[in-house]
Amino acid sequence: MRVFLIAGEPSGDKLGAALMRGLRGLVPEVEFHGVGGPDMTAAGLSSLFPMSDLSVMGLAEVLPRLRHLFRRRDEAVSEIARLAPDVLITIDSPDFCLRVAAKAKRARPDLRTVHYVAPSVWAWRPARADKMARSIDHVLALLPFEPPYMRAAGMTCDFVGHPVVAEQLATPTDAGRFRDRHDITGPLALVLPGSRRGEVDRLAPIFGAALAKMPKDARVVVPAVPHLADTVRSAVRTWPGQPLVVTDPAEKRAAFAAATAALAASGTVSLELAANGVPMVIAYDMNWFSRQVIARMLKVDTVTLVNLVSETRAVPEFLGEACKPETVGRAFANLLLVPSERHRQQEALDRTMDRLGRGGEAPGLRAARSVLAVLGKSPAE
C-alpha cells in the first residue's frame, strides 16, 4: 500500500505522524511519500521538500512567495502522478493542500483523496465544503458534530477524535512541584493572550487591565511559545500578580495542571484547558473591519469549542466589543474566587473531553482505520 501525505504546518505534521503510526500498525508494509515536518520524518517520511516552504500565513507573506508556492504545488502533483499512490491524504493547510488535490484529481480522476481536519463550515463560509467536495472523497473530522456538514456536501466523513485527548498531561505531583518551585500558595491564574505576535500586542493590554480585579494573593503564569517569549515578557511586565512567563514544555504542562482558572484568547487552547480540567474565561478582540466582516458571516452564537462540543454555554465568552477589561476582569475574578463557579464548568469540560474521544482508541489509529475502510482494505492479520 502506497500513501502520499501533505502537511503544511506543525499541527498538521503531528496529525500526520500519528496517522502514519496508526497505518504502520495496521498495514506494516505501507509506503509513505509526500511532504511533512520533523514528526512525520521521524515516523518514516522522506519529505519531497521542506514543510517550512508552505508555512506562510497572511496576504503580505504569501504574495511574494506565490510563484514558489505554485512551483511546490506542481512538484507535489508531478510526484503523485509518478508514484500513483493508493491514496492522497492532505492535512489541514487548505490553501495549499486542496489545490494539490484538485490538480492531482484532474490528472487522475480515480485517485482516492482524503482530507484530515474538516473546515469549520458550521461557523462560517459554508460554501467551502461544496468547493472541497470537487476534489476530496473522504474527510477525517476532529469534532463530533462535523460529519453531517461534510456528508451534505457530498463527501464521506468520519469523526476520528481530537488530538488533544492523546496529549501528555502533567500529574498532580508535577503540579505540586511547580507551585513549590515558584512559591505559589494562593490561586494560580493562567493567562494566555494568544500564540501570535498580533494577538499578544492586541490582547495583552486588555488582559493586564482585567487582572486588576483578581484577588491580591493570585499569581499570574503566562505560557508562551519560545519565539514570542521576549515579546510576551515585555507585554506583561506591568501586570499585577508577578507574572511568570514559562516556555519549557514540561513547565507548561505543570502550569496547566496547577492552575486554578484561566483567562485565554479564543482558539483550540480551550480544549487544552478542558483536558486539564481548568475552568476558563475566553476573550478575544480584533480590528474594527474584521469585527464587522466576521459578525456578518458567523453562523453560531459562541466560538468557544468547549461550549460547542458540550452543547452548553458554560464558558463565559467576551468577543469583539464585549472584550473590555471591566467585564472580562469581573468574570475572571469571580472564577478565581468562587469555587461553585469553577465546579459549574467542570461537567462541560468533562463532557467535552469524552465527546472528543478521551478514553477511547487513539485518534491516529482511528484515522488510520477510517482511511483503510474508505479504500476497502483490511488491516494485516
CA contacts within 13 A on the Cβ side of 327: 12
Mean pLDDT computed over 200-221: 96
Task: Evaluate whether residue 381 is within a structural domain.
Answer: no
Closest CA relative to residue 273, chosen from 240, 309, 244: 309
Quick check: 187 and 261 in contact, CB under 8 A?
A: yes
- Comparing 66-75, 164-173, 261-270, 355-364, the range with the smallest average pLDDT is 66-75
What pLDDT was estimated at residue 290?
A: 62
Q: Indicate if 40 and 93 belong to the same structural domain.
A: yes
**CATH number, domain with residue 29:** 3.40.50.2000
For residue 276, what is the DSSP state?
T
Task: Evaluate whether residue 268 is within a structural domain.
Answer: yes
Q: Indicate if 111 and 248 belong to the same structural domain.
A: no
CA angle at 275 for the pair 291 and 43, rounded to the nearest 5°: 95
Q: Indicate if 337 and 371 belong to the same structural domain.
A: no
What pLDDT was estimated at residue 380?
A: 74
Q: Indicate if 363 and 349 belong to the same structural domain.
A: no
Q: Indicate if 322 and 371 belong to the same structural domain.
A: no
Q: Indicate if 250 and 325 belong to the same structural domain.
A: yes
Joined grid coordinates for residue 151: 456528508
Mean pLDDT computed over 161-181: 97
Residue numbers of the domain that contains 194 = 172-355
Mean pLDDT computed over 320-331: 95
Q: Indicate if 339 and 368 belong to the same structural domain.
A: no
Task: Evaluate whether residue 28 is within a structural domain.
Answer: yes
What pLDDT was estimated at residue 112?
A: 98
**What's the rounded Cα separation, in Å, for the pair 76 and 212?**
52
Q: Indicate if 257 and 350 belong to the same structural domain.
A: yes
pTM: 0.89
**For the chain, what is the mean pLDDT?**
93
Show the DSSP H helices in 276-324 as ranges. Answer: 288-297, 305-310
Single-letter amino acid code for the residue at 303 = V
Inform me whether the pLDDT recorded for 170 exceeds 80.
Answer: yes
Q: Indicate if 207 and 181 belong to the same structural domain.
A: yes
Task: Evaluate whether residue 167 is within a structural domain.
Answer: no
What pLDDT was estimated at residue 55?
A: 63
Task: Evaluate whether residue 292 is within a structural domain.
Answer: yes
Rg over CA atoms, the chain: 22
Q: Indicate if 17 and 155 belong to the same structural domain.
A: yes
- Tell me the sheet residues that pair with 183: none
Single-letter amino acid code for the residue at 15 = L
Q: Indicate if 273 and 370 belong to the same structural domain.
A: no
Quickly list DSSP for 96-121.
HHHHHHHHHHHH-TT-EEEEES---T
| Overall domain count for the chain | 2
Task: Evaluate whether residue 121 is within a structural domain.
Answer: yes
Q: Indicate if 179 and 127 belong to the same structural domain.
A: no
